[in-house]
Amino acid sequence: MGFRSSFAAFLGKSARWAGETFMHRSAGNLPGVIAMKAAPAVLADLSGAADNIAVITGTNGKTTTTNLAADCLASSGRPLYCNRDGNNLESGVVTAYLVKPERAAEGASSDAPVSCFECDEMYTRYVVPRVKPRFFLLLNLFRDQLDRVGEIEHVQGAIAAALEGSPDTVFLYNGDDPLCAAIAARVPNRSLAFGIACDMGLDADRISDSRFCQQCGAALEYDYVHYGQLGAYRCPSCGWGRPELSFAAENVRMLDGSLAFDIDGHTVQTGQTGVYMVYNTLAVYALSKASEIVSFEGFQQAVEAYRPTNGRLQTFRLGGRSVMTNLAKNPTGFNQNIRIVLNEGGRVLALFVNDEEADGCDVSWFWDIDFERWSQIEGLKAFVGGSRANDMQVRLKYAGIPSTIVENAADVLAATDESDGKVYVIANYTALPPLRRELEALEKASADGCARKEGE
Amino acid sequence: MKPLNIVHLFPELLNLYGDGGNVIALRRRCEWRDIPVQVTEVGMGDAMDFSHADIVFIGGGADREQMIAKDAIAARKAELRSYVADNGVLLAVCGGYQFLGHRYTMGDESVGGLGIVDMETVRGEGRLIGNAVIESDIASMPVVGFENHGGRTTLGAGVKPLGRVLGATHGNNGEDGFEGVHQGNLIGTYLHGPLLPKNPQVADYLLARALERRGESCELAPLDDAVEAEANRVMARRLGVS
């Protein structure tokens, strides 16, 4: 590492130390921001510190998949650098190298550190060429934040540029997504596809991103659609279609609160729900197998032990009540949550949507969500909150669902009772963390209350 | 009564900013009033028949999808022109709106439009993005929405806009203070949001014109629009208009 990068890393580490020592909190992105100010290309030097296994991107599921992949890599016992908190710009990746690597177990065959990072789609073009990971994992591409990120073609261009800037990186992508497969078709990198090779019998979403051939523009034909534009597709006009799957999940079973699928003669089981968790888990399986540093047992244990703590599919117990929170920040994410609620027979729904910078300030995508599917639920109680609560209330009204505006989760709990069953709190990017903190506090208060009662 | 026929052109291609919500709003507002209504979705390769249309809706799409839709619509240019000339009700948003003029810009290329409205769109520096509010003579409430366009549209002399921008709203081109177009029973606009749910007066304006054209009473039964009006008021107030 040159003097400039060493000095930059020193400044960044100092910022982290100062934050932790004097402010008693994590310095967030700041160490990376400071280091990059001192040496803009510092990441290229820092990345030499590890065997960089993967950079992970995609519209939906980045943070969950990165954490799951990190758990698997950590099972090898090697020290690990990872931006688990979802700080996914270049500065977040730099910050991850400036903290002490995590180490799950002693006695690994090697002490050489490994890394895996989540990266924002548009920043992959800077991060991937500097980190030069062995694998670049692309989960999916859906429309998201048009006002900030732009149309999907721009995202595809950024990802292709990332791969072109790191020609030895293997592109591991969702072959069920024509928008991902189109990138594999245009870059020189070696590529491997994963996908779900069986029909799950799901109805197609009303609005989908391109179900049109990425090569010639003709309407694609599908043997089956899983959701959005994901499925087994083929172009009747030019013959382009879903690539051969190097990692194919079969016999997918959606169970109550869990799911299972078969792959390569193994059965994979997770304590998570939702079709998109099949993809997230499958992607981590593919990465574990292709990287050859994680055993199937290590992968399976990590998947079984995985418990989200960031509000994604997290369940809170408040006395006799149960509250599930999940993130949804675009139509596809919401449609997935709609299915989860229908599968589980949920009747209390609370949707919180903000329009801060990180959320995007255009909320027209509410109208691309199939809320009409909820209108048949008997005894449904719907609540809306966040800075765009009024817009959501209008959307639900036109889906045939009357709703009440609330401030927070406590309002929802006060307006319902145990007989209404589990409460589903679905929130977008900036709306989720305060709700999670509120529910954590309520859960703690409820547990303390129970403990006091037992002590009386 | 024959159902009011809402024709939605290429919903699978021109569906970028939730603009299909306009069709949902028109349909629901008929259903709530017991006005028989049907939505006809015209896809690629489907026949386009405007003779049975009461309201035609054209949304906007991503560049790629808009390219695919462009040729299909251009092939039916004559039918669409005669529908508009016959006072047919048409709502076109963003890409669909630009398409109504003589020329517009697609990527870096200037493309011929339908020539239904005397207007032109050229590419400008940067995109005009943000929450938007305008005043229009078809609504007593402000009309709110969200604009996100790279094209700059200029109306020909004497062509009436949908309204005048308020606050920091950019409108057609960020310069002349106009937003959209309103010509006979045709409305073109850059406003997403989508436009009609939070501007129920604009939705009802289109429904009334469609009924009137069929020779039926255009007196619409009043609806409880408290939820819509509140969402409209919250946004208008946020943009400094009350």
Å between A12 CA and nearest CA of chain B: 35
State whether A361 and A399 are in the same domain: yes
Which residues of chain B from 44 to 103 reach within 8 Å of chain A, CB to CB?
A: 44-45, 62-65, 67-68
Q: What is the mean pLDDT of residues A397-419?
A: 97
User: What interhelical angle do A296-305 and A62-74 show, nearest 10?
Assistant: 130
How high does pLDDT run on average in chain A?
A: 90
Contact criterion met (CB < 8 Å) for B24 and A367:
yes
Q: Kindly tell me if the per-residue pLDDT of A341 is higher than 80.
A: yes
Least confident segment among A179-193, B32-46, B55-69: B55-69
Contact criterion met (CB < 8 Å) for A364 and B12:
no
Contacts of B20 in chain A (CB under 8 A): 206-207, 367-368
Contacts of B192 in chain A (CB under 8 A): 362, 364
- When comparing pLDDT for A456 and B149, which is higher? B149
Contacts of B24 in chain A (CB under 8 A): 367, 398
State whether A197 and A106 are in the same domain: yes
Residue of chain B nearest A217, judged by CA positions? B68
- When comparing pLDDT for A16 and B21, which is higher? B21
Which of A305, A326, A354 terminates a domain? The answer is A305
State whether A217 and A85 are in the same domain: yes
**Per-residue pLDDT tens over the stretch A147-185:** 666 678 889 999 999 999 999 999 999 999 999 999 999
Query: Are the C-beta atoms of A283 and A264 separated by less than 8 Å?
Result: no
Q: Kindly tell me if the per-residue pLDDT of A51 is higher than 70.
A: yes
**Per-residue pLDDT tens over the stretch A105-139:** 666 667 899 999 999 999 999 999 999 999 999 99
pLDDT tier, A195 (very low <50, low <70, confident <90, very high otherwise): very high
Contact criterion met (CB < 8 Å) for B227 and A362:
no
pLDDT at A212: 84
Range of the structural domain that residue B120 is part of? 4-238
Which of A307-311, A334-338, B205-209 is most confident?
Answer: B205-209
State whether A323 and A297 are in the same domain: no
Å between A273 CA and nearest CA of chain B: 28
Å between A156 CA and nearest CA of chain B: 13
Instruction: Please choose, from the candidates A53, A32, A23, A149, the residue with its C-alpha nearest in 3D space to the C-alpha of residue A98.
Output: A32
Residue A82 lies in a domain: yes
Residue A180 lies in a domain: yes
pLDDT at A455: 54
pLDDT tier, A433 (very low <50, low <70, confident <90, very high otherwise): very high
Separation CA A447–CA B139 (nearest Å): 54
Contacts of B130 in chain A (CB under 8 A): 361
Separation CA A209–CA A207 (nearest Å): 7
Contacts of B107 in chain A (CB under 8 A): none
Range of the structural domain that residue A209 is part of? 41-305
pLDDT above 90 coverage of chain A, percent: 67
Contact criterion met (CB < 8 Å) for A398 and B24:
yes
State whether A227 and A334 are in the same domain: no
Nearest to B62 among A152, A362, A366 (CB): A152
Element (H, E) at A285: helix A275-291
Question: Residue B61 CA to chain centroid, in angstroms?
Answer: 13
**Per-residue pLDDT tens over the stretch B198-214:** 999 999 999 999 999 99
Contact criterion met (CB < 8 Å) for B65 and A210:
yes
Q: What is the mean pLDDT of residues A322-343?
A: 91
Instruction: Check the annotation: does A116 bind a ligand.
Output: no
Residue A46 lies in a domain: yes
Least confident segment among A193-207, A268-282, B132-146: A193-207
Contacts of B68 in chain A (CB under 8 A): 212, 217
**Per-residue pLDDT tens over the stretch B60-107:** 887 777 878 888 888 888 999 999 999 999 999 999 999 999 998 877
Cα distances (angstroms) measured from residue A447 to each of A32, A205, A293, A455: 38, 40, 41, 12
* Counted domains in chain B: 1
Contact criterion met (CB < 8 Å) for B21 and A153:
no
Query: Are the C-beta atoms of A82 and A55 separated by less than 8 Å?
Result: no
Contact criterion met (CB < 8 Å) for B192 and A393:
no
State whether A96 and A183 are in the same domain: yes
Nearest to B231 among A146, A361, A390 (CB): A390
Q: Kindly tell me if the per-residue pLDDT of A11 is higher than 90.
A: no
pLDDT at A148: 60
Residue of B27, B57, B146 for testing the chain A interface, max A β-carbons within 10 Å: B146
Which residues of chain B from 159 to 218 reach within 8 Å of chain A, CB to CB?
A: 192-194, 197-198
* Positions of B marked catalytic: 94, 192
Least confident segment among A174-188, A199-213, B5-19, B209-223: A199-213
pLDDT at A398: 98
* ipTM, two decimals: 0.96
**Inter-chain Cβ pairs, chain A and chain B, closer than 8 A:** 88
Q: What DSSP line would sit under A4-29, residue for residue?
A: HHHHHHHHHHHHHHHHHHHS-S--TT
Q: Which residues contact A145 (CB under 8 A, 6 or more apart)?
A: A329, A330, A359, A360, A362
- When comparing pLDDT for A87 and A396, which is higher? A396
For position A76, which CATH number holds? 3.40.1190.10
Residue-wise burial string across B91-100, b where 16 or more C-beta atoms lie within 10 A, e elsewhere: bbbbbbbbbb
State whether A49 and A145 are in the same domain: yes
User: What interhelical angle do A275-291 and A62-74 show, nearest 10?
Assistant: 40
State whether A284 and A361 are in the same domain: no
H runs (alpha helix) in chain B: 20-31, 63-74, 77-85, 95-98, 200-213, 226-238
Contact criterion met (CB < 8 Å) for A364 and B231:
no
Instruction: Please check whether residue A142 touches B, CB under 8 A.
Output: no
pTM (whole model) above 0.90: no
* Counted domains in chain A: 2
Instruction: Check the annotation: does A235 bind a ligand.
Output: yes
State whether A229 and A94 are in the same domain: yes
Contact criterion met (CB < 8 Å) for B146 and A361:
yes
State whether A137 and A159 are in the same domain: yes
For position A381, which CATH number holds? 3.90.190.20
Residue of chain A nearest B233, judged by CA positions? A390
Instruction: Please check whether residue B107 touches A, CB under 8 A.
Output: no
Q: Kindly tell me if the per-residue pLDDT of B110 is higher than 90.
A: no
Contact criterion met (CB < 8 Å) for B231 and A391:
yes
Å between B78 CA and nearest CA of chain A: 25
Residue of B12, B26, B42, B169 for testing the chain A interface, max A β-carbons within 10 Å: B12
State whether A169 and A250 are in the same domain: yes
User: Residue B34: which region, alpha, beta or left (left: phi > 0; alpha: psi -120 to 50)?
Assistant: left
For position B110, which CATH number holds? 3.40.50.880
State whether A297 and A318 are in the same domain: no
Query: Are the C-beta atoms of A405 and A395 separated by less than 8 Å?
Result: no
Q: What is the mean pLDDT of residues A307-330?
A: 89
Contacts of B64 in chain A (CB under 8 A): 151, 153, 210, 212, 217
Contacts of A143 in chain B (CB under 8 A): 16
Catalytic residue among A362, A370, A417, A448: A362
At which residue do the structure tokens 């994979």 appear?
A268
Nearest to B15 among A207, A212, A397 (CB): A207
Å between B99 CA and nearest CA of chain A: 19
